[in-house]
Structure 1
Amino acid sequence: MRVVLDGLVMGESVRWHDGRLWFCDWGAGQIVMLDAGLPSVVARVDDFPSCIDWLPDGRLVVITGRGPLLRQEADGSLAVFTTLTSPFLFNDIAVDGRGRIFVNNIGYDFPGGSPAPGTVSVVTPDGVAREVAGGLEFPNGMAVDGETLIVAESHAGRLTAFDIAPDGSLSGRRVWAPLGEGAAPDGIFAAGDGTVWYADVPNQQCVLVREGGQVLRTIPLDRGGFDCAVGDGVLYAATAVYPSAEPSGQLVAVDLADYRT
């Protein structure tokens, strides 16, 4: 494992897109892209940028913690596309091939409140949002794999899957992978071959699992794993000491071809 970047306030939403690595630094309100290992801030967001993804036409979309969903305009700027409302934090997004944006909400006042069910909403290309799933135990990382939406339920220790209907509705809810007692999946990355990587904060690791729950690889970290993605055979993870009064975020990388557990 090597440290790519140090000094992050709180790294999240690690994405591999168009041959480059992207991530959000929540505490700094920044969206960062790495090109040839060099970081550049591509956007700043006043309300922290919870998560990023891209529309089929290549435009960036950003969900902020308190609900404005931002979309990249023709001039490259970010503007409000639509606003979702909730007293609780919006956490993660995933875009499907038809341009529908799935957004989840924690469902309670985290971290101080009592746990309560979270939700998933869909935002259609015309900007209309509606709830399409509920009863999720701290919905966290999400990924679209073909016509399937996979959601990490951090408090339930599982990955849950839904079938995506042509109108963006979700059905066929099922446990895609039970992760075992004590597992707390945060951000996820669908590899496209029936496997998913998930980052785990309390267990300080990234884990590759197959549908059904078989563990294929485990990468130990020296601090909590908040999100991960794979690009060009390298696993990238956003890590931090949690909880911590001081910034401790890092972006780390592991060359998967060379790593042996």
Structure 2
Amino acid sequence: MDVHNTEIFLRGFAFPEAARWHDSALWFCDIWGKKIYQITPDGQVKRCLDTDGEPAGLAWLKDGTMLVTSLFERQLLALSHDRLHLFCDLSDLARPGYCHDMTVNGNDTIYLSNSGFYPAPGVTPVTSNVIAFNAGDKPYIAARDIGYPNGIVVNDQQQLLVAETFAANILSFDIDSDGSLNNRRNWASFDDIGFKVEFDEQGVPRDLSRHTPDGMCLDNQGRLWVASPARQQVVCVAKGGDIQAVVHTNALPFDCVWGGVEGNVLYIMTTRAEQGQKTGMIEQYISSERMIRHRSSA
């Protein structure tokens, strides 16, 4: 197993998340800062959008429309003329909890993770759902009974991979031609404890020895790079659960994406999660090999 450390690429954010490499630039949300950034490979801010709510997920449709999840409002927004507009109201379908990460497949089917509850002391964890729909269609529950659905990606085999954060597991679904999901199975498990978690007064899991798979991305070999904030690591895991590399971070990692001019930079969204403080950073690990997938924007 390879072990690596990071270097700091950029500082000065509150809670960076939703890392995407799109149109030769790094995009991400600052959830607590209520902003969306586009950053060039040399670290220059190319674009900065202000949001009313907390932006938590990013994706693009085939026509170039950028979509943004609104964390607490349980809404999906779309960017038009430099302003965000309501694209789909999910409040009647989404359970209490976050509407956070999302992805879009090659047929413009949108998949969103709905956490199901807010991490807090004394909360009773409940499973939740993945919501799916195509533009103009009614959203529906595509998958149920997921242990805190979070990071979500589509691989080259047209399978949807979903992180079960508090079950320490990655689920896999086959995607049918109409976008529906079937053939649920475990893609990789970090332990066999199952869906179980207790939180301290700050809403942090008491057991920090377990992996807590959060945001994730794929490399050009089909492996998952998974942010695990409880362990303060990003791990590279192959199908079946073999951990092939570990990247140690300076703060808590919540998402990652391969990008850079040469496709060999792993950008990692980290923060110390201190309300009112800009402890968020973009850390990076530079590989000696090109790792980026051809399709890497969502």
TM-score over 0.5 for the pair: yes
Gaps of 5+ in 1: none
Residue of structure 1 in register with 2:145 after alignment: 135
1:185 CA drift (Å)? 0.6
For residue 185 of structure 1, the aligned residue among 206, 213, 223 is 213
Q: Is the 1:70–1:78 contact (alpha carbons within 8 Å) kept by the matching residues of 2?
A: yes
After superposing the two structures, state which structure 1 stretch, 179-188 or 115-124, moved more. 179-188
1:193 CA drift (Å)? 2.5
Identity level (%): 30
1:242 CA drift (Å)? 4.2
For residues 134-167 of structure 1, what are the alpha-carbon distances to aligned partners after superposition, in whole Å with 9 as ceiling and x for unaligned?
A: 1111111100113111001111111111111122
For residues 166-221 of structure 1, what are the alpha-carbon distances to aligned partners after superposition, in whole Å with 9 as ceiling and x for unaligned?
A: 22211110111112361111100022422110001110011111111111111111
Are residue 68 (structure 1) and residue 75 (structure 2) matched? yes
1:110 CA drift (Å)? 2.9
SS in 1 for 2:106: coil
Q: How many residues align?
A: 257
Residue of structure 2 in register with 1:239 after alignment: 270
Residue of structure 1 in register with 2:198 after alignment: none
Are residue 210 (structure 1) and residue 247 (structure 2) matched? no
RMSD between superposed Cα atoms in Å: 1.7
1:239 CA drift (Å)? 0.7
SS in 2 for 1:108: coil
Cα distance change, pair 41–127 in 1 and its aligned pair in 2 (3 A): farther
For residue 2 of structure 1, the aligned residue among 3, 7, 29 is 7
Are residue 123 (structure 1) and residue 129 (structure 2) matched? no
Residue of structure 2 in register with 1:44 after alignment: 50
Cα distance in structure 2, aligned partners of 1:130 and 1:153: 20
Higher strand share goes to which structure? 1
Gaps of 5+ in 2: 1-5, 193-209, 290-298
SS in 2 for 1:180: coil
Are residue 160 (structure 1) and residue 167 (structure 2) matched? no
Q: Is the 2:216–2:226 contact (alpha carbons within 8 Å) kept by the matching residues of 1?
A: yes
Are residue 83 (structure 1) and residue 89 (structure 2) matched? yes
For residue 252 of structure 2, the aligned residue among 224, 228, 231 is 224
After superposing the two structures, state which structure 1 stretch, 109-118 or 148-157, moved more. 109-118
1:120 CA drift (Å)? 0.3
Q: Is the 1:201–1:242 contact (alpha carbons within 8 Å) kept by the matching residues of 2?
A: no
**Relative contact order, higher structure (CA 8 A, sep 6+):** 2
Kindly provide the amino acid, as one letter, of the partner of residue 123 in structure 1. Answer: F
